[in-house]
Amino acid sequence: MKRVATYTFLLTLIFQLQIEKAEAQPVSDSLLLNSPIYREKLHLFTDRSLYASGEIIHFRLHNKSHDLLKENSWSTVLYLELIGNHNIPVAQGKYQLDPKGATGQLLIPDTVSTGAYHLRAYTKWMRNFDASDYFHLPLTVVNPQKINRSEMPKFDSTQAAITNPLTSHEVVSCSLERVSYGNREKVTLQINLEDTASLKKGYCVSVIKKGYLDLDFSYTPHGDIEDQIKTGEVLFYPETRGISLSGRAIRDSDSTPMAYTPVHITLLGPESDYFGTVTDKFGRIQFSIPSVTSPTELLITSSSKSGEVIDLILQDEFSQDFTMPSFTPSNVLNIRQSLVNEMGTYSQVAKPFITSGADVTSTEEKESEYSFYGTPEFRYKTADYIEIPNLEEFIFELVPKVQVEKQNRQKYFSVLDDAGPISEFAPLILLDFVPIPYVEAILSLAPEQIEYIDIINTIYIRGSTNYGGIISIVSKKGDLAGIKLPEGSSILTFNPLNKMEEMKFIDYDHQKFSKRIPDLRTTLHWSAQNKFLSGRQNTIEFFTSDVSGEFIAVIRGMTKKGTIVQGTCEFTVK
């Protein structure tokens, strides 16, 4: 017992030192919330404004924040949501945000109804401010199976012609060899950048059916005109180190915040991992989740010294604050009825021929080859040994580097290195990567429920914690071998950053395609990060599809001062 108490004291001391160091907040919440420097600003371009359900939205996001924030990775995660009627998100994604901004795709689910939607983009830090600070962009989605004319927004004539005062059409322009092309024909787009152009890189290029992109749209966040002093505390920390989990630990009985309380986080599934952290003096949890590549279940649990039940209240992954964007719902549905009908037709005809879209929500599960501790010093596969009634006897008979000891009627594990028991630190005991406090319950497990036991018999360092070795038990079914989870545990789905997929376009010069399979692309080209040289040396090649009509190439970029640079040129496909 004395030994257990010593471990607890040491762990608490280490945790407290760590947290107190972190808690000495150098800059006041008031300054952070009121200084214009800390007001992040984003601007988003998409390939189109009109989509069919099941299609992919391609986007390019510019970070317009103050250079200090932008260049020093204040926020490294971008949140993007497609919001429908009644502020219901129909698609969500998280993306890597860097000084250049972000690029990526968001898949529109097949099941959404035809109607007006908007994309909104924000960072976790921006959630400290009004939701009107988020970037909003109106979009229209057509689902031929789900058109309800009565729900279509009414056209507001006062919003029909929004001019964009920030746009400069002068420095970038484009031209084509011809004004008319046939189906499946190669087009060479010449992009001309004037010598005076200060912006040379970061351009996005979209070649689309004319009318599918609202070129005149401009969004001004309310924050630009708001100058009320904000009071209160910083609730959402900037994600300086990738996606984070935030929340509070409270005592179940009276909701008191639990300071300096250990919190255990386990990634379940193929990328199993364990992280131990601790709450701060206000009972807050701030935890940056290391690299995870696919959506995974996450088990979060806490333990108190006195055995009290602790509830962990986590912040929502995505913002729950909504605002009425400063634009009326897209009028495309009404004023461009023919385009909507056409989009619906293309979508229906193309669907049977679509083999796969860009993989933006892939849930491909790949078993991680190694655990976080790499190759263990010892691995005991229970199937390799004779039948033994329980794990206590298995360990006693076959695992010499682990001892089960007893003090004051309580059993505990001890790991031995070459010199004997490692007494400086308590070992980490994991069952399916979940730290289980019930030693007796583990010892009474039947070995046939267990796949293997890994032993690391040396001091192990993970994050800020030192462990006196690791005993990692993995059950055959991955179900904790029937042992109940500690009270107050919760399981949630953790979605990592969306994968960046390079958009691949059809190349009729090098690939063979059957004439019988229709090519109904309305986005002929999209590239999000182009660098151009001054003069006429910049070319982009693409192929037309089987869709005929008027097309437009749109080149857009944003200067450091936030001015949109835009050039367009048109052609016909017959």
Partner 1 sequence: MAFLFNAMNAQVDTRSEKEFLEAKSHFNRSYGTDYNLLNGRQYYLLYSSISHPFLYSDQYRSEKLWLKGVSYEGIPINYDIYKQKLILQYMSYSGEAKQLILNEELIDRFILNGKEFRRLSFPESGSGFFQVVSSGDLSFYFSWEKTMFYSPTSNSTPYNYTQPSRKAYLNKSGQLHTIRSRSSFTNAFDKKYRKNINHFIRKEQINFRSSTDESISRLMEYCKELTATQ
Residue 438's contacts (CB-CB under 8 Å, 6 or more residues apart) are 483
Rounded Cα gap, residues 529 and 78, in angstroms:
17
For residues 313 and 459, which CB has a smaller minimum distance to partner 1 in the complex?
459
For residues 65 and 206, which CB has a smaller minimum distance to partner 1 in the complex?
65
Q: Which of 165, 182, 232, 374 is in the footprint of partner 1 by CB under 8 A?
A: 374
For residues 414 and 457, which CB has a smaller minimum distance to partner 1 in the complex?
457
Residue 306's contacts (CB-CB under 8 Å, 6 or more residues apart) are none
DSSP H helical segments within 380-438, as ranges? 391-398
Other C-beta atoms lying within 10 Å of the C-beta of residue 265: 23
Give the range of 23-31, 100-108, 325-333, 548-556 binding partner 1 by CB under 8 A: 23-31
From residue 279 to residue 298, the character string flagging contacts with partner 1 as x (rule: CB under 8 A) and all else as - is: -x-----xxx-xx-------
Rounded Cα gap, residues 411 and 413, in angstroms:
7
Minimum Å distance from CB 295 to partner 1? 17
The β-bridge relationship of strands 465-467 and 460-462 is antiparallel
Q: Which of residues 411-470 bind partner 1 (CB under 8 A)?
A: 456, 458-464, 466
**Residues 449, 481 contacting (CB under 8 angstroms):** yes
For residues 322 and 378, which CB has a smaller minimum distance to partner 1 in the complex?
378
Q: Which of residues 308-337 bind partner 1 (CB under 8 A)?
A: none
Binding to partner 1 by residue 409, rule CB under 8 A? no
Joined together, the tokens standing for residue 486 give 């500690």
| Total of chain residues touching partner 1, rule CB under 8 A | 47
Minimum Å distance from CB 467 to partner 1? 10
For residues 218 and 293, which CB has a smaller minimum distance to partner 1 in the complex?
293
Minimum Å distance from CB 572 to partner 1? 45
For residues 31 and 88, which CB has a smaller minimum distance to partner 1 in the complex?
31
Minimum Å distance from CB 164 to partner 1? 31
Amino acid residing at 23: E
**Residues 398, 460 contacting (CB under 8 angstroms):** no
Rounded Cα gap, residues 556 and 60, in angstroms:
10
Binding to partner 1 by residue 225, rule CB under 8 A? no
In degrees, rounded to 5, the angle at the alpha carbon of residue 24 between the alpha carbons of residues 21 and 30 is 155
Minimum Å distance from CB 307 to partner 1? 25
Binding to partner 1 by residue 533, rule CB under 8 A? no
For residues 413 and 460, which CB has a smaller minimum distance to partner 1 in the complex?
460
The β-bridge relationship of strands 180-181 and 564-573 is parallel
Give the range of 20-28, 86-94, 441-449, 541-549 binding partner 1 by CB under 8 A: 20-28
DSSP assignments along 488-547, one per residue: T-EEEEE--PPPP-------TTTS---TTS----SEEEEEEEEE--SEEEEEEEEE--S-
Binding to partner 1 by residue 68, rule CB under 8 A? yes
Minimum Å distance from CB 239 to partner 1? 9
Rounded Cα gap, residues 499 and 93, in angstroms:
10
Minimum Å distance from CB 241 to partner 1? 5
Rounded Cα gap, residues 196 and 194, in angstroms:
5
From residue 186 to residue 215, the character string flagging contacts with partner 1 as x (rule: CB under 8 A) and all else as - is: ------------------------------
Q: Which of 155, 322, 372, 505 is in the footprint of partner 1 by CB under 8 A?
A: 372
Q: Which of 123, 140, 192, 277 is in the footprint of partner 1 by CB under 8 A?
A: 277
Minimum Å distance from CB 348 to partner 1? 41
For residues 107 and 265, which CB has a smaller minimum distance to partner 1 in the complex?
265
DSSP assignments along 168-195, one per residue: E-SSEEEEES-SEE-TT-EEEEEEEE-T
For residues 81 and 239, which CB has a smaller minimum distance to partner 1 in the complex?
239
Minimum Å distance from CB 153 to partner 1? 41
Binding to partner 1 by residue 27, rule CB under 8 A? yes
Residue 70's contacts (CB-CB under 8 Å, 6 or more residues apart) are 63, 99
Q: Which of residues 230-259 bind partner 1 (CB under 8 A)?
A: 237-238, 240-241, 244
- Phi and psi at 491, nearest 5°, equal -115, 130
Burial class (CB in 10 A: 0-12, 13-18, 19+), 420: exposed
Residue 509's contacts (CB-CB under 8 Å, 6 or more residues apart) are 186
Alpha carbon of 412 to those of 379, 398, 440, 471: distances in Å? Answer: 20, 17, 8, 12
SS3 state at 353: helix
Binding site for partner 1 (CB under 8 A): 14, 17-18, 21-27, 31-32, 35, 37-38, 68-69, 72, 74, 237-238, 240-241, 244, 275, 277, 280, 286-288, 290-291, 369-370, 372-375, 456, 458-464, 466
